Amino acid sequence: MSAFVDPRACVVTGVEFDNPSRPGASITVRHLARGFGGKQVLHGLDLDVTAGQFLAVVGRSGCGKSTLLRLLAGLDRPDHGSIAFDEGEGTEQKRIARVMYQEPRLLPWATVLANVEVGLGPNRDATGWRSRAFEALSAVGLADRAGEWPAVLSGGQKQRVALARALVSRPRFLALDEPLGALDALTRIEMQQLLEKVWRREGFTAVLVTHDVAEALTLADRVVVLQGGAIAQDFQVNSPRPRRRGDRDLAHLEEQILSHLLSS
Amino acid sequence: MTDFVTTIGAERALRQQAVRPPPDLSKIFHDITPWLVPLLLLAVWQAACTFGALSEAILPSPASVLEAGWRLTLSGELPRNVEISFLRAIAGLAVGGGIGFSLGLANGLSSLCERLTDSTLQMIRNVPHLAMIPLVILWFGIDEGAKLFLVALGAFFPIYINTLHGVRTVDPHLIEMAESYGMGPGALFWRVILPGALPSIFVGLRYALGIMWLTLIVAETIAAQSGIGYMAMQAREFMETDVVVLSILVYALLGKLADVIARALERASLSWHPAFQNKSGR
């Protein structure tokens, strides 16, 4: 299994950030509604995500998964309902949340290191930003590419830079909008392992939107099925980590979720 | 039979050696290829003049054009006129390009500003700027102001349109990303919008350089008392064909020079762009 895995991608170096045990944020969503041009995408959605949980949201295309994620990340405003972090309203979403998009969205005119530095946000002028950006880059195994242009990187490497950018500010909530969708199968497996590793080390709350049920089951503590703008089913995934592909329990769960999606 | 085969093999090897000279030589050959045709034409031209196929009054030989250039350089007439034309071109480009760049940015960033000015500018754009010459002469006489106005007007539109287009076409995904990472308007402009618009702005600049020389040539031949165009018109009066040809060549050289500078600037500031990266840079 590990024969084709780039060792640099998996071995998270012993880099420790200044505050290693900062907890993830808990998220409380109540009666969330959002529509676009008369079409109601989400209505009356309730969801509780505990601190540090890895939640996966699966569903058919157009079921509102991405809309939900954009609302959670503060990229969009709900028509009705509320999203609260840490059981208190009014927390600045943008300061807690970081997003990994389907595309890497790197600035092509900035070096790899400068792209990671973007993730520090307005604090980037604080002293030591360069070493922090560099640490984040080492954590995804790309320290030796720091000075290069994004254009020379492969798709998987670009997503690793995007991951370093998302993590450099030590977010308490990471929203993942199908970030591995465009990668080839092997790179995908490497990235899943890397994601799991940084999540376990950093302890942030993660919400992953995907239509790949197997991927959701490899990574998440909990998988919810989104249907008709609300949560239709909720599964706990208790298999021990790191999860093996071909695990019987996971295969059974995958079958259950898929048949639910197919029958809908 | 075997001998025959080896001979062919050896011959082929020899021929390959002959076809593929050592690397340095092939590189030199590669570098001079673009110059072969111009040099050949020059040689034909010189030969035609020397053997009397072309009269000096129609087209003077390259040697006499060179000689005219040398004569006018010594007298100081050529450097003085080149300097004047060059300054006019640069000043017109700076004024017209500066206004075009500012308006392009303003209209790209603010929809109010765009609604206010863009349709007016598009109407003006449809007037060929050289058609303004009679009016410009009435306004400014044959002063420096006339040339400056015309060159600025000509250089304005390519830069305006391409700056506007560049700002508009910056990837909205990148802007959303930058905003979600807490970039303020200033940082957003300097780190995302301007670099994203730069390739298009350079297209505008190179286009403006072409129009700049064209406008200047027309303006200087019609209404001027100095400059390369004036020098050519004076020479026409005295049937000095060599000076006329010299003026044309000087314009061509200046145009080429401006383009080379613009390309170098482009390469230096767009080194991130895949189009400017050498493929071996991996």
Q: Per-residue pLDDT averaged across A27-49, rounded?
A: 90
Give the pLDDT band of residue A4 (cuts 50, 70, 90): very low
Which stretch of A14-23, A33-42, B98-107, B237-246 has the lowest confidence by average pLDDT? Answer: A14-23
Q: Does A147 touch chain B (CB under 8 A)?
A: no
Q: What pairs with residue A34 in β-bridges?
A: A42
- Contact flag B196-A151 (C-beta cutoff 8 Å): no
Give the pLDDT band of residue A125 (cuts 50, 70, 90): low
Nearest to A73 by CA among A208, A183, A197: A208
Q: What is the pLDDT of residue B30?
A: 85
Task: Identify the CATH number of the domain defined by range B62-267.
Answer: 1.10.3720.10
Helix, strand or coil, per DSSP, at residue A175: strand
Q: What is the mean pLDDT of chain A?
A: 84
**Other CB atoms closer than 10 Å to residue A76's CB: what's the count?**
14
Q: What is the pLDDT of residue A89?
A: 53
Q: What's the pLDDT tens digit per position in B152-161?
A: 999 999 999 9
Q: Per-residue pLDDT averaged across A229-247, rounded?
A: 86
Q: Per-residue pLDDT averaged across A153-172, rounded?
A: 92
**Other CB atoms closer than 10 Å to residue A190's CB: what's the count?**
21
- Contact flag B184-A122 (C-beta cutoff 8 Å): yes
Helix, strand or coil, per DSSP, at residue A100: strand
DSSP-assigned letter for residue A88: B
How is chain A split into domains, by residue range? 25-263
CA A30 to chain B, closest CA, distance in angstroms equals: 23
In chain A, the percentage of residues whose pLDDT exceeds 70 is 86
- Contact flag B182-A121 (C-beta cutoff 8 Å): yes
Cα separation, B154 vs B209, in Å, equals 9
Q: Does B194 touch chain A (CB under 8 A)?
A: no
Residue bearing tokens 């300054």: B87
Number of DSSP helices (H) and strands (E) in chain B, helices first: 12, 0
Whether A206 and A62 have beta carbons less than 8 Å apart is answered as no
Q: Which of B181, B193, B201 is most worth mutating to test chain A (most A CB atoms within 10 A of its CB)?
A: B181
Residue bearing tokens 């970030």: A179
Tell me whether residue B20 is exposed, middle or buried, using C-beta atoms within 10 angstroms of its C-beta: 0 to 12, 13 to 18, 19 or more.
exposed
The secondary structure of B189-250 as a DSSP string is: IIIIIHHHHHHHHHHHHHHHHHHHHHHHHHHHHHS-SSSHHHHHHHHHHTT-HHHHHHHHHH
Q: What is the dihedral of CA B159, B160, B165, B166, to 10 degrees?
A: 50
What is the interface pTM, i.e. ipTM, of the complex?
0.82
Q: Of the candidates B174, B198, B277, which has its C-beta nearest A151's C-beta?
A: B277
Q: Listing from the earlier edge strand, what are the strands of the sheet with A80-85?
A: A39-49, A27-36, A80-85
Q: What is the pLDDT of residue A9?
A: 36
Cα separation, B10 vs B15, in Å, equals 9
Q: A215-232 burial by CB neighbour count: b if 16+ within 10 A, else e?
A: bbbbbbbbbbbbbebbbe
Q: What's the pLDDT tens digit per position in B2-50?
A: 444 444 445 555 455 555 555 678 888 888 888 899 899 989 989 998 8
Interface contacts A/B by beta carbons within 8 Å: 58
Q: What is the dihedral of CA B226, B231, B232, B237, to 10 degrees?
A: 110
Cα separation, B59 vs B48, in Å, equals 10
Question: For A25-263, which CATH class?
Answer: alpha beta
In chain A, the percentage of residues whose pLDDT exceeds 90 is 45
Q: What pairs with residue B22 in β-bridges?
A: none
Q: What's the pLDDT tens digit per position in B79-138?
A: 999 999 999 999 999 999 999 999 999 999 998 999 999 999 999 999 999 998 889 989
User: Token pair of A92, please?
Assistant: 């600045």
In chain B, the percentage of residues whose pLDDT exceeds 70 is 90
Helices B62-75 and B23-50: crossing angle in degrees, nearest 10, is 90
| Long-range CB pairs of B251-257, under 8 A, 24+ apart, other chains included | B251/B213, B251/B217, B254/B82, B254/B85, B254/B86, B254/B89, B254/B213, B255/B209, B255/B210, B255/B213
Q: What is the pLDDT of residue B121?
A: 92
Cα separation, B233 vs A225, in Å, equals 82
Q: Does A76 touch chain B (CB under 8 A)?
A: no
Whether the pLDDT of residue B282 is over 90: the answer is no
- Contact flag A74-B180 (C-beta cutoff 8 Å): yes
Exposure of B123 in the CB half-sphere (CA atoms within 13 A): 4
Whether A32 and A81 have beta carbons less than 8 Å apart is answered as yes
Q: What is the pLDDT of residue A10?
A: 34
